[in-house]
Amino acid sequence: MATIKSFEDLEVWQLSVELAVKIYQLLSFFPKEEKYGIIDQLKRAIVSISANIAESFGRFHYKDSVKFLYNARGSLQESRSHLLVAEKLGQIPKSKYEEYSQILKDLKNLEVKLNNFISVIIKRSKSVE
């Protein structure tokens, strides 16, 4: 197992950044009138995932760390919700449905990995109590 020296070494952080890039690319195809609507909301939510993971890494106490990981998980769900609403509103071009579907799968994968990471942090916290 590789040594984790920084948040950049965390798989969950790496996956969250990859997802942010994919979503930013998809958003470039959204209607321009959504620039200050769902596009802005989705950009904030998706970058919040990696930011909260990074912030959790910088926390000394397990409870603080887990709190920020929970925030990351919340932002992940918010991102998924925005994407689903955008699809229902017809804002995702038909030519981008494959990318959209893959992003939803990637979000689910990240959710599972993030939940597993949270479980590991909680278990470690109980072993030092």
- Nearest-CA neighbor of 29 among 90, 79, 74? 90
Exposed (0-12), middle (13-18) or buried (19+): which is 97, by Cβ within 10 Å? exposed
Running DSSP on this structure, what letter comes out for residue 6? S
Task: Provide block-wise average pLDDT over 10 residues at a time, the chain (129 residues).
Answer: 85 98 96 90 98 93 93 98 96 95 98 97 79
Which pLDDT score, from 0 to 100, does residue 129 have?
60
Q: Where are the domains of the chain?
A: 7-122
Which pLDDT score, from 0 to 100, does residue 4 have?
84
Q: How far is CA 24 from the centre of its chain?
A: 13
Which pLDDT score, from 0 to 100, does residue 79 have?
98
CATH superfamily of 7-122: 23S rRNA-intervening sequence (1.20.1440.60)
Which pLDDT score, from 0 to 100, does residue 35 have?
86
67-73: which pairs have CB atoms within 8 A and are 24 or more residues apart? 69/114, 69/117, 69/118, 69/121, 70/118, 72/12, 72/16, 72/48, 72/114, 73/111, 73/114, 73/115, 73/118
- Nearest-CA neighbor of 49 among 78, 9, 85, 8? 78
- Is the Cβ–Cβ distance between 79 and 42 less than 8 Å? yes
Which pLDDT score, from 0 to 100, does residue 96 have?
96
Residue 94 token pair: 């038909």
Which pLDDT score, from 0 to 100, does residue 19 have?
98
Which pLDDT score, from 0 to 100, does residue 59 have?
86
pTM: 0.93
Q: Which amino acid is at 99?
A: E
